[in-house]
Chains A and B, each alone.
Chain A
Amino acid sequence: MTQTRPNRTLGPGHDDFWAGCAAGELRIQHCNACDKHSWPVVGDCEHCGSTDLRWQVMSGKGKVVSWCCFVQDYYRGVMSVPYDTIMVELAEGPIFISNPADFAYDDITFEMPVEVTFIDAEDAAGAFKLPVFRKA
């Protein structure tokens, strides 16, 4: 079932990320100069400022290092509260904010292993694939 979500940030660079999701790939920018990743999408490497960035496909594996449940309805009904969000440390290093796919707040343990999956979503710009995480 397609879920309505608050709007994505779109534009140069951002569109490449969402195109990756449409292809079933979690792509993150990687810097050839300093060998580190940048997320969210940047114009220049967030670590060293280099423009020598390329998209790297992540393994999709990671672990939950923190999590929280939104009770306050910040999005004014766009998402029905309460809902859970997770902070995933990807195997390659970057931190990725997402949602649990097949588990909930009370199931989560610190550093629980997870892997990416993509669900159908839509926002004001149309349908898209949203990367979320399931138990690994």
Chain B
Amino acid sequence: MSYMELFKVPEPTPELSRKSSIVGVGESDFHADYQAARANTPGYEGHTSESLAVIAFERALADSGLKREDIDGLGVNYLYGGPSAEETAAMLGLKPKHIMGQSGGICAGPIPFACNEIAQGKADTVVLIFSAATRSIGRSFGGQGVTTGGPSSYYYHHPWGWSSQAAHWALIWQHYMATYNATEADLASVAIQMRTNAMRNPNAIMQAPLTVEKYLGSRYVVKPLHLFDLCLVNDGAVCLIIRKADMARDLPHVPVDIGGWGHAAVKSGKLHTLVRERLRPQFQESGRQALAMAGIPLSEVHHFEGYDASTIHLINHIEGHGFVEPGAGLEFCKSGEMDVNGSLPVNMAGGILSGSYMHGWNHVAEIVRQLRHEAGPRQVKDVHTSMFSLAQTDQVHPVIFMRRETS
């Protein structure tokens, strides 16, 4: 499968809107596992992708109120390698009649694919598992080890010493500062908001308060980006159970319907589009697709979960999708609009900056809790529509979720 094919999604059409629902969610113990790994506690052996997957699956199954025999579809996403879907099924005691072929790992493709395959009658209830022992395997994110297989910007500029995802975000931030007269202290507000959100989520990895002073005093990774501008690296797993919408009634929780999705990719001039336009054309196009499929305007989105690989990239999402004008994102964050009581609460579980690096899957898990209205101290009041948006350096994939109104 080519790099670009990996991220394709089924055609977003209104006929597929709200035909599938998330009925179960499970996560591993991000916080406790991270603490144990850091502390190197005697007897702590760390996790494997398999052991994490089992934990997340068992929790999702219990959460859904379904039985193993209700599960007839399976998709597995072991980002850095793991057993096949068939081996996973055997490990989990499942006998799915349908195995999903798409396994990109990033949590935007698998959800639309599951919806499409449910609509095609291939399965009624699909278990999606994401699992990555990212920290335990010592995964690194830049340098000479990055070779062909991804976008050329990840490896081509080695002779100039330019590599890593962080370097992409650093160039964006430097350009943003020059364009909008922003300062490092302005960007600190995004890291601080994510930390504030994480502190309301017991399973978030980072729980210590963050201040502007602490942010500015932290080391640079790729200047002008500080340590707190870049996402975590940790082990973990998330499991989602997606069921045909008309079979999602009479379960313990309110179903969370998948309302729409979209996808747009940079086709040429990648670094120009990423740094100088901050993927705005792709945010706009993919968002338009997802909203049209769901049949709602952007103003109906009352909670947003965006892929916060870096603080500035989260701002790219907020501005790119049109929640605020270009250049207004940092002021929006500083004035508290992204907080739980703001006009657009963002990344309520702490995202991947302070929550857990689950490549977007934890963002979706939080959407499920929010739309069920079971998020406790970080619950967005009366929320009924949430938008998830995953953007890498050259692709944007939003997915819209809606709370099922019970009559």
Contacts and interface: CB of A to CB of B under 8 A. Distances in A.
B160 interface: yes
Interface in A19-65: 36, 38, 40, 46-47, 65
B381 interface: no
B159 A76 contact: no
A71 interface: yes
B175 A7 contact: no
A130 B157 CA distance: 11
B268 A46 contact: yes
B171 A6 contact: no
Interface string A96-127: 01110000010000100000000001010000
Interface residues of A, number: 38
Contacts of B276: 65
Contacts of B336: none
B371 to A, nearest CB: 38
A71 to B, nearest CB: 4
Interface residues of B, number: 40
Contacts of B323: none
B124 to A, nearest CB: 41
A66 B178 CA distance: 9
B208 to A, nearest CB: 22
Contacts of A83: 161
B395 to A, nearest CB: 16
B275 A68 contact: no
B369 interface: no
B162 to A, nearest CB: 5
Given A46-B267, A74-B142, A75-B143, A65 B158 contact: no
Contacts of B40: none
B224 interface: yes
A79 B155 CA distance: 16
Contacts of A89: 272
B287 to A, nearest CB: 24
B222 interface: yes
A130 B170 contact: no
A121 B175 contact: no
The 3 A-B pairs with the shortest beta carbon distances in the complex, nearest first, are A110-B178, A68-B170, A74-B143
5 contacts: A6-B144, A40-B152, A46-B267, A65-B275, A74-B140
Interface of B: 140, 142-144, 148, 152-153, 155-164, 166-167, 170-172, 174-175, 178-179, 219-225, 267-269, 271-272, 275-276
